[in-house]
Amino acid sequence: MKSDEPEHKKSRTATAVCTIARMNPPTPGHAGLIETMITKAESMRLDEVHIILSGSVDFDNPLEYAEKELVLERMITSIKRKTGTRININIKPLGKTPLGPIGQIAESTPDIHLVVGEDRKDDYNWLMRYLTEGVTVTVDALPRPEGAISATIVRRLARDSVGRDEHYHELQRIYGDYINDATLTSIITQVRERIEVKKKTKSKGKGRTRGKGRTKRTRKKHSL
């Protein structure tokens, strides 16, 4: 007997597990978050989780989206090997706002669990105002584990690793279970390059400010 239920409702699954993050660069702390998502998905008998990844690039976010995705994929391979999970881990670009990718997930899933760090637990409350009626977003906030390595610490170690083997070896220790030395070197290189761009930009900015000041004073003299 043919069902009268609308086609889009037939395909809806009960729940989705996802996160929204910069991960710039991805760290073992992010790997722990992904493992938590996998555990949650398995307990709900889901077959996938979603990582919604920001593409922002600036002085504090040195890695391009493609580079972050590459690092994440290598970390995910290690996570799957470690956990033996069959969960599919989707990486989605954030776009201009989280509403786009979250809205796409919500089209087929009415119950969304958003797994984020405890410091981000209130950042996405606004989503509910814009999602389709009947869709709920539950924020699952994770406390930062004691001794967890943040992306800020990784960027600092990468920045200061020039001529300091102890910093490079510390990064090797941090990432040893997840990525190889070539990928680690790529992360370090991009962090350093972004810092150099920042230095040059600041230097130019100071020059322009002084120049504008001189121009204004010159014009004032002519007007007299």
Domain definitions of the chain by residue range: 12-146
Contact criterion met (CB below 8 Å) for 40 and 140: yes
Strands (DSSP E) contained in the chain are 15-21, 48-53, 88-93, 111-117, 136-142
Q: Say how far apart CA 189 and CA 179 lie, in whole Å.
A: 15
On the CB side of 26, how many CA atoms lie within 13 Å of its CA? 31
Q: Say how far apart CA 108 and CA 5 lie, in whole Å.
A: 14
Q: Say how far apart CA 167 and CA 159 lie, in whole Å.
A: 9
Domain 12-146, CATH homologous superfamily name and number: HUPs (3.40.50.620)
Three-class SS state of 137: strand
Q: What is the DSSP string of 9-58?
A: HHT--SEEEEEEE--SS--HHHHHHHHHHHHHHHHTT-SEEEEEE----B
Instruction: Show pLDDT as tens, one digit a residue, over the chain (224 residues).
Output: 443 444 434 344 689 999 999 999 999 999 999 999 999 999 999 999 999 999 988 888 889 999 999 999 999 999 999 999 999 999 999 988 999 999 999 998 999 999 999 999 999 989 888 998 889 999 999 998 888 888 999 988 988 877 678 888 999 999 988 888 998 888 888 888 887 766 666 666 665 544 444 444 444 443 33
> Is the bond into 26 cis (omega within 30 degrees of 0)?
no
